[in-house]
Amino acid sequence: MDSSDTEAVIARERAATASRAAALARQVAELAEVQAHTTHDDEHDPEGVTVAYERAHLQGLLAGARREIEALDRAADRLEAGTYGRCRTCGEPIGPERLDALPSAETCIACAPRRRR
């Protein structure tokens, strides 16, 4: 894949992730609005999940989307600098299959487990 194709993929992924983050932020705001207008004790409601659980879940998803946007921005910076597709740990090329699956990948498959430690 050439750099203009890669740039388009990164831009598309970033736009989709930004859209998901915006939708999640709206859901968090709507949930806060609903919670502000109710005195219901959802902590003891046997009918379903609590508002606190739902809010925490949405906030976790939103945080993940924001981290992915940051990772895609770093990928765009690496593309511009000419270092995209190189492992930040060992310097070897990142496999094209990995980059197809995860355009923001910063490490090769061999180094990915080391980064998580």
Query: Is it the case that residue 11 has pLDDT exceeding 90?
Result: yes
61, 89: one domain: no
Q: What's at 74, amino acid-wise? A: R
80, 91: one domain: no
Q: What is the pTM of this model?
A: 0.81
72, 94: one domain: no
Tally of structural domains, the chain: 2
Give the SS3 label for residue 104. Answer: coil
42, 93: one domain: no
pLDDT in tens, 32-53: 887 776 655 555 555 556 777 8
63, 78: one domain: yes
Neighbours of 65 (CB within 10 A): 20
Range of the domain at 40: 3-84
67, 109: one domain: no
79, 35: one domain: yes
Rounded CA separation 57/55 (Å)? 5
